[in-house]
């Protein structure tokens, strides 16, 4: 492993540890010493990788967006119908919320709730483009094939992602009576019915 690869791996482990702590205790209550302690490294060394907690938070949202984007890209690159792709994307999102809850929780409870941390460096879609781009490609393909109705991007995006985010938020609050997978079929059908041509 080269020195660069080693450093990259270390960066990723810092982001993963921080992701868990931020999602669990919140952004403000988690300190850099907490993160260093969890990783068994010195605070000074951690600053060699990320110069501030805000920068770390911004890098994490880029990282989670890339991870989720890569999963959706796999769906986009299949020959499935838009209807089936919707189901796959819902599945990817919900399964991730269960297997790596910190990823989605971070988006909902840190990124969306602490806008001041992201206002400089993560303007607009800058830090979530890895994910948004794949959703755009999904919509573009769906309209081009005639399966989805041409409409304003944000009307469709809000319906799709607002719905999924809302469900995962309810799951996080512990108010869903069923496991999250239980809702995949119905929600996929609802989204398809709303978006179809």
> Which chain residues interact with another protein by CB under 8 A?
123-126, 129-130, 132-133, 136-137, 139-140, 142-144, 148, 150-154, 156
At closest approach, how far in Å is the CB of 82 from another protein? 11
At closest approach, how far in Å is the CB of 76 from another protein? 9
- Which residue number, 19 or 122, has a Cβ lying nearer to another protein? 122
- Which residue number, 150 or 179, has a Cβ lying nearer to another protein? 150
At closest approach, how far in Å is the CB of 187 from another protein? 20
H-run or E-run covering 121: none
d(CA 67, CA 16): 12
At closest approach, how far in Å is the CB of 135 from another protein? 10
- Which residue number, 85 or 130, has a Cβ lying nearer to another protein? 130
- Which residue number, 34 or 141, has a Cβ lying nearer to another protein? 141
At closest approach, how far in Å is the CB of 133 from another protein? 5
Which tokens is 71 given? 């999963």
DSSP string, 131-192: HHHHHHHHHHHHHHTTSB----HHHHHHHHHHHHHHHHHHHHHT--SS-GGGGHHHHHHHHH
At closest approach, how far in Å is the CB of 78 from another protein? 16
Reduced to 3 states, what is the DSSP secondary structure of residue 196? strand
- Which residue number, 90 or 128, has a Cβ lying nearer to another protein? 128
Which tokens is 118 given? 């992201």
- Which residue number, 35 or 68, has a Cβ lying nearer to another protein? 68
Cβ atoms < 10 Å from Cβ of 10: 16
Residue showing tokens 């209550």: 29
Cβ atoms < 10 Å from Cβ of 70: 12
The β-bridge partners of 148 are 196
């Amino acid at each position: 492993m080269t020195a660069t690869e080693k450093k990259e791996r270390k960066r990723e482990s810092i982001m993963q540890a921080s992701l868990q702590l931020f999602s669990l205790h919140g952004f403000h209550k988690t300190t850099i010493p907490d993160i260093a302690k969890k990783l068994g490294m010195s605070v000074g060394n951690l600053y060699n990788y990320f110069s501030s907690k805000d920068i770390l938070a911004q890098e994490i949202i880029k990282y989670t967006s890339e991870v989720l984007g890569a999963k959706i890209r796999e769906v986009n690159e299949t020959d499935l119908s838009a209807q089936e792709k919707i189901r796959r994307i819902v599945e990817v999102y919900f399964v991730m919320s269960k297997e790596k809850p910190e990823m989605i929780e971070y988006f909902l409870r840190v990124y969306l709730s602490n806008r001041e941390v992201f206002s400089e460096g993560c303007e607009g879609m800058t830090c979530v483009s890895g994910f948004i781009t794949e959703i755009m490609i999904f919509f573009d393909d769906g309209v081009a094939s005639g399966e989805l109705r041409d409409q304003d991007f944000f009307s469709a995006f809000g319906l799709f992602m607002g719905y999924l985010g809302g469900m995962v938020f309810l799951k996080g609050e512990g108010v869903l009576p069923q496991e999250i997978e239980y809702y995949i079929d119905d929600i996929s059908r609802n989204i398809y019915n709303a978006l179809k041509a």
